Structure 1
Amino acid sequence: MRNLTDNKTAVALFAGVTLVGALSACSSPSTGTDSGTADVNAPDAGADYTDGTYTESGDYTSPNGAEKVDVTLTLESNTVTDVTVVGYGENPNSIQFQGEFIDGIADEVVGKNIDELSVDKVAGSSLTSGGFNKAVDAIKADALAE
């Protein structure tokens, strides 16, 4: 009986050590900072952008499925001087929230440095901002490449 108990203990110990080893191999080293959801392709803050008007699309997911907005920003000396957003919602809720976002976005971004833009909620619409922020990141990349 002792041999069977010893074997069960050894197997359990081996399985536990193997699991810990496998999990630690999958983890990344910690640097003490939280990278959050930062876009590794996003330009560095303080970059110098080419003046002009840029348009990009940003997608996001709502309870109604995949959604998209087109964002057009005009930049002068790294400052947003104009913004236009076009929504493509098909569901009544999506149309409503995109419309509220579109109606309120200019107050949030016009006159601000493009590197300071990080919209999280406009006029009660929080999901549309995800698509907006993706489009802004793409616009930053476009304006740097000019």
Structure 2
Amino acid sequence: MTLPRYKNTFLTAAAASALLLTAACGSEATDDDSSAATAPAAAGGSADSADADPSAASSGGYAAGDYSAEGSYQTPGGTQSVVVELSLDATGTITSVEVIPQADGGNSEQFQGRFAGGIADEVEGVSIDDLDVSKVSGSSLTSGGFNKAIDEIKAQAAA
């Protein structure tokens, strides 16, 4: 069956729009597949040695203190990153967290802003060993950078 030209054009435009929206928003499968295969290793951060107390090792083997790390992840528009600053108590529980967006514009800036605004509700009061962030406030790709930064912070805080 042959569709009239205007219907064929409309259906093609609708399909292309759906594809672009899916690529821009990402999904958990895209996040897991693309960030694992193409994202560079997370940039290292450093613990604030004035605030870290190595003698206060938690049951998880972490020192209480304030830590910071940067994690990168892959988006359809290229590599992006976020800075994660958090405080751990003597039990390895996150007492405060801040995500500082590093996006260079476009959709990533919007998604990182939403992620940064909602992450504290998801992770404060949770043990750093129990974190498994996959999507916050509609942003699934940003979690890849967040999780890489958390891995770096775990290494920094290991007692």
**TM-score normalized with structure 1 length:** 0.67
1:120 is displaced (CA, Å) by 0.1
Structure 2: any 5+ residue segments left out of the alignment?
A: 1-35, 37-58
Matches within 5 A, 1:108-123: 108-123=122-137
Q: What's the counterpart of residue 102 of structure 1?
A: 116
Q: What's the counterpart of residue 47 of structure 1?
A: 60
1:47 is displaced (CA, Å) by 2.4
Q: What's the counterpart of residue 72 of structure 1?
A: 85
Q: What's the counterpart of residue 72 of structure 2?
A: 59
1:85 is displaced (CA, Å) by 0.7
1:8-44: per-residue Cα shift (whole Å, max 9, x none)? xxxxxxxxxxxxxxxxxxxxxxxxxxxxx7xxxxxxx
Q: What's the counterpart of residue 28 of structure 2?
A: none
Letter in 2 for 1:136: I
Letter in 2 for 1:131: G
1:26-81: per-residue Cα shift (whole Å, max 9, x none)? xxxxxxxxxxx7xxxxxxxx622100000000000111100010001100021000
**TM-score normalized with structure 2 length:** 0.61
1:90 is displaced (CA, Å) by 1.5
Aligned-residue RMSD, C-alpha: 1.2
What is the total number of aligned residue pairs between the two structures? 101
Larger radius of gyration: 1
Letter in 2 for 1:74: S
Structure 1: any 5+ residue segments left out of the alignment?
A: 1-36, 38-45
Match of 1:136 among 150, 153, 158: 150
Q: Is the 8 A contact 1:56 1:138 kept in 2?
A: yes
- Percent sequence identity over aligned pairs: 52
1:71-122: per-residue Cα shift (whole Å, max 9, x none)? 0110002100000111111222111000000000000000000000010000
Runs (4+) of structure 1 exceeding 3 A deviation are none
Q: What's the counterpart of residue 16 of structure 1?
A: none
